């Protein structure tokens, strides 16, 4: 069981990072092998909609994303963790998500070579926002959950937390517990 953590915050050691570490600790506790990718340390352009991947399944953009495509294929579960920026996900996470385009054909069906590995792959999400009302991050949840529903990935749920200053979430024992439990869940269910 391999669990891949994807950090969408540019603030390393910040709130999303702390919760992602908790989730990966939970996955490890449940016996999984874990790996974390910090998107801001990678070169990931947006999707150009050049359409080349529609036929080949191979992204024509030569940056770090094709390597991440491979990691996604190899993982049994992926946990994304991202702060809310202007009621949405960060640019880093959006660029990464848009580049999932390469997995699909022109009809948005999985390319045949990817389907066996992607079918039922588990996806979880952690959001952080400064707003005490965590539903501020609902558009991010909508984006990931709808993508999972549309593509038959297995949605494993969300941890939604509120924090503002860097590292503040470390004081929030219940959010950390929830993130740990999400990691355990993706590694076991």
What residues line the site for ligand FMN (CB under 6 A)? 9, 11, 14-17, 83-87, 128-131, 136, 163-164, 166
Q: How many angstroms separate the CA atoms of 112 and 115, rounded?
A: 5
Choose between 15 and 158: whose C-beta lies nearer to ligand FMN: 15
Which residue intervals of 31-172 are DSSP H helices?
Answer: 52-56, 65-74, 91-98, 115-118, 138-151
Q: Report in angstroms how near the CB of residue 126 gets to ligand FMN at its nearest.
A: 9
Choose between 61 and 97: whose C-beta lies nearer to ligand FMN: 97
Q: Report in angstroms how near the CB of residue 178 gets to ligand FMN at its nearest.
A: 16
Chain position whose Cβ is nearest to ligand FMN? 14
Q: Report in angstroms how near the CB of residue 155 gets to ligand FMN at its nearest.
A: 22
Using DSSP's 3-state secondary structure scheme, residue 81 falls into strand
Containing H/E element for 7?
Answer: strand 2-7
Order of strands, edge to edge, in the sheet holding 154-162? 33-38, 2-7, 77-83, 122-129, 154-162
Q: Report in angstroms how near the CB of residue 158 gets to ligand FMN at its nearest.
A: 15
Which DSSP letter does residue 17 get?
A: H
| CB neighbours of residue 166 within 10 Å | 15
Choose between 82 and 102: whose C-beta lies nearer to ligand FMN: 82
Using DSSP's 3-state secondary structure scheme, residue 19 falls into helix
Choose between 76 and 162: whose C-beta lies nearer to ligand FMN: 162
Choose between 86 and 150: whose C-beta lies nearer to ligand FMN: 86
Q: Report in angstroms how near the CB of residue 27 gets to ligand FMN at its nearest.
A: 19
């Amino acid at each position: 069981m391999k669990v891949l953590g994807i950090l969408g915050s540019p603030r390393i050691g910040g709130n999303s990072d702390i919760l992602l570490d908790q989730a990966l600790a939970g996955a490890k506790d449940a016996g999984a092998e874990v790996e974390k990718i910090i998107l801001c340390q990678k070169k990931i352009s947006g999707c150009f909609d050049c359409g080349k991947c529609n036929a080949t399944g191979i992204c024509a953009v030569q940056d770090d994303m094709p390597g991440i495509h491979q990691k996604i294929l190899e993982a049994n579960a992926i946990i994304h963790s991202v702060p809310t920026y202007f009621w949405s996900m960060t640019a880093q996470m959006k660029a990464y998500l848009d580049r999932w385009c390469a997995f699909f054909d022109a009809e948005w069906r999985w390319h045949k070579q990817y389907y066996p590995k992607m079918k039922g792959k588990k996806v979880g999400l952690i959001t952080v926002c400064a707003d005490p009302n965590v539903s501020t991050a609902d558009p991010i949840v909508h984006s990931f959950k709808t993508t999972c529903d549309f593509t038959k990935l297995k949605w494993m749920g969300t941890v939604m937390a509120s924090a503002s200053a860097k590292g503040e979430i470390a004081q929030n024992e219940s959010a950390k517990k929830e993130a740990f439990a999400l990691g355990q869940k993706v590694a076991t269910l």
